[in-house]
Chain A
């Protein structure tokens, strides 16, 4: 198999959530190799890890992000794709550690104080990782102080706040204000089912996107990282 064919196989497996040979989903690929096997094959054939990431994984996740934005796929399908991506990523981790692969930047993410929902946050994390960002996940129920502490540790990071509950959006406002008070240059992204662009403008955040791909596009443009 040619190098570009292997990379396309990786992208395809990630797009359709084919994890490995043993995974039953999707039914039409049952018994065939998945993202894990093709990534291993790519590295064994001498394809550079950075190329595997950019031309395999990132291609696949880019398609997933776009389909999600267009309402062609929903959370279950994205999670399957993320699972497939993780099985590829396992093979690439040593190359991140060695510095052979460099990330586009750091993204601190968390669900705001009082909110324990993590689906949206996790989806954004996965799609950002799949697009080459290093994600620092602070988890759920994260106070403003925790976000500020993480920013002190990783000063040039973008910060992403997630909320599912309308009732916790007030905490989102408070966190945005505190981050901006500390450093008005810090880029703050907000998202979650009840969040709207109007709300984003009102609380002074930099970007709201109803889907992760919108955030990826924004970041790529803002940081010239496409």
Chain B
């Protein structure tokens, strides 16, 4: 099953062979390729390179072309302030400064950086035909705020007709952007409207729902899938968002995934999220990431769920943390390993290794989930034992299953983080990889030579 097929099935609540994974790589792509955010977001070549690197490392099922909610606003005349390690920010609001919507520049394919994103989209489509490409479109309400500033909140009360007109204008921009992304190869249009988290359900239904329904209908008619993204505490609007007829909604850690699952599923809308961006993905340890992914996976369930970060990834999120998310999703043995660890007594300490090592022998310790039930563990144990047997009683081979307290305390003492792992005289050598006999032989020989046993 390709990533694209997996995403499409999940959007339709069909069972998939594994939970689809969509890392929201925006300026993180710049980090992966050693660039600053500004140069990255101004070059289609850089975006293609960054996204391709993310695809190579994280093995996702879907990925956004870019994550820049300022592009449409910039094309319409808003000034941006650029930063080296962040997406740009809108710093001027033309409608607040006396310009009327009719006086804004026309929104065309050639405006601002729009051609950069469309070209990146075409190239990524050619290079990665099996990945679901997400085209991110600034939602009409967020775009309206970029154009009119925060006064729009008060105008909703004091001049609602004006706000409605502005929303219609902004939705026209969102619709154009969505069409262009679809024409250039996107499979999913994600309408990202984070500012809707700031309004109440009545305001949402009055100002946001009518244009959003039109937008998602158009996406569907043009043969693509539609996803509605929101960041921040937007729990009050989840039901209204689902009623805008997207195929999927995506939320961040501010909203409990279980709540979104219940509401969205009942309205036949698939859902995604909500890995913690900073406290876990960016700042957490590898084990924090793995356990959090597992917990999120358990909440999301097997159907209609897309694993994704809550929002745009922090630029310098450690790549190994995102690799770890993919591994938890694709490796059922690793999930079982994590569950076993979690279930184990947290008070389990480290085994006492005094007396464990021998001067006259090489000691091999294989830490497994359990070689009788975990196939990779079984193959590793068999391969290492076969190699060890060739050296007779000069080599001792022990298996420690982490399903026992003894196994966990041994794992802790040896500093092992995954299974299956082979440790020779305390030296961690083979991690989750069954090496060929010649390689195992050579490592055992190296240890025997070090002890002058051969």
Residues of A36-93 at the interface with B, using a CB-CB cut-off of 8 Å, are: 71, 73-77, 79-80, 83
CA of A115 to CA of B87 in the docked complex: distance in angstroms? 10
CA of A146 to CA of B279 in the docked complex: distance in angstroms? 26
Instruction: Please tell me which one of the listed residues B85, B198, B278 contacts residue A194 in the complex, with CB atoms under 8 A apart.
Output: B278
CA of A26 to CA of B316 in the docked complex: distance in angstroms? 46
Question: Which partner residue on chain B sits nearest A167 by CB separation?
Answer: B86
Given A80-B154, A167-B27, verify A116-B236 contact (CB < 8 Å).
no
B325 is an interface residue with CB less than 8 A from chain A: no
Given A23-B158, A74-B200, verify A166-B312 contact (CB < 8 Å).
yes
Is there contact, CB below 8 Å, between A116 and B81?
yes
B344 is an interface residue with CB less than 8 A from chain A: no
Is there contact, CB below 8 Å, between B158 and A167?
no
CA of A83 to CA of B154 in the docked complex: distance in angstroms? 9
CA of A158 to CA of B399 in the docked complex: distance in angstroms? 57
B153-184 vs A, Cβ < 8 Å mask (1 yes, 0 no): 11011100000000000000000000000000
B231 is an interface residue with CB less than 8 A from chain A: yes
Residues of A180-204 at the interface with B, using a CB-CB cut-off of 8 Å, are: 193-194, 196, 198-199, 202
6 contacts between A and B (CB under 8 A): A75-B153, A75-B199, A80-B154, A165-B86, A193-B231, A202-B283
Question: Which partner residue on chain B sits nearest A122 by CB separation?
Answer: B150
Residues of B305-328 at the interface with A, using a CB-CB cut-off of 8 Å, are: 310-312, 314-316
Is there contact, CB below 8 Å, between B279 and A166?
no
Contacting residues, chain A, for B236 (C-beta < 8 A): 71, 74
**Distance of A52 from chain B, by nearest CB (Å):** 24
Question: Which partner residue on chain B sits nearest A73 by CB separation?
Answer: B200
Q: A71-B235, A141-B81 provided; 9 other pairs, C-beta below 8 A?
A: A25-B157, A25-B158, A77-B200, A119-B153, A119-B198, A167-B312, A169-B278, A198-B279, A199-B278
Contacting residues, chain B, for A117 (C-beta < 8 A): 89
Given A79-B153, A166-B312, A170-B314, verify A74-B199 contact (CB < 8 Å).
yes
CA of A74 to CA of B198 in the docked complex: distance in angstroms? 6
Is there contact, CB below 8 Å, between B278 and A76?
no
Binding site for B on A (CB under 8 A): 17, 23-26, 71, 73-77, 79-80, 83, 114-119, 122, 141, 165-170, 193-194, 196, 198-199, 202, 210
B83 is an interface residue with CB less than 8 A from chain A: yes
Binding site for A on B (CB under 8 A): 27, 81, 83, 85-87, 89-91, 150, 153-154, 156-158, 194, 197-200, 203, 231-233, 235-236, 252-254, 276-279, 282-283, 310-312, 314-316
Is there contact, CB below 8 Å, between A114 and B86?
yes
**Distance of B238 from chain A, by nearest CB (Å):** 12
CA of A57 to CA of B332 in the docked complex: distance in angstroms? 59
Instruction: Please tell me which one of the listed residues A79, A166, A210 contacts residue B278 in the complex, with CB atoms under 8 A apart.
Output: A166
Given A74-B200, A119-B150, A202-B283, verify A80-B157 contact (CB < 8 Å).
yes
Contacting residues, chain A, for B283 (C-beta < 8 A): 202
Question: Which partner residue on chain A sits nearest B201 by CB separation?
Answer: A74
Contacting residues, chain A, for B311 (C-beta < 8 A): 166, 194
Contacting residues, chain B, for A79 (C-beta < 8 A): 150, 153-154
Instruction: Please tell me which one of the listed residues A26, A76, A118, A198 contacts residue B154 in the complex, with CB atoms under 8 A apart.
Output: A76
**Distance of B114 from chain A, by nearest CB (Å):** 22
Is there contact, CB below 8 Å, between A194 and B86?
no
Instruction: Please tell me which one of the listed residues B154, B158, B253, B315 contacts residue A196 in the complex, with CB atoms under 8 A apart.
Output: B253
**Distance of A201 from chain B, by nearest CB (Å):** 9
CA of A101 to CA of B87 in the docked complex: distance in angstroms? 44
Is there contact, CB below 8 Å, between A167 and B314?
yes
Is there contact, CB below 8 Å, between B154 and A167?
no
**Distance of B438 from chain A, by nearest CB (Å):** 46
Contacting residues, chain B, for A168 (C-beta < 8 A): 86
Question: Which partner residue on chain B sits nearest A24 by CB separation?
Answer: B158
**Distance of B338 from chain A, by nearest CB (Å):** 20
CA of A210 to CA of B83 in the docked complex: distance in angstroms? 27
Given A116-B90, A193-B197, A196-B279, verify A76-B203 contact (CB < 8 Å).
yes
Instruction: Please tell me which one of the listed residues A76, A114, A166 contacts residue B83 in the complex, with CB atoms under 8 A apart.
Output: A114
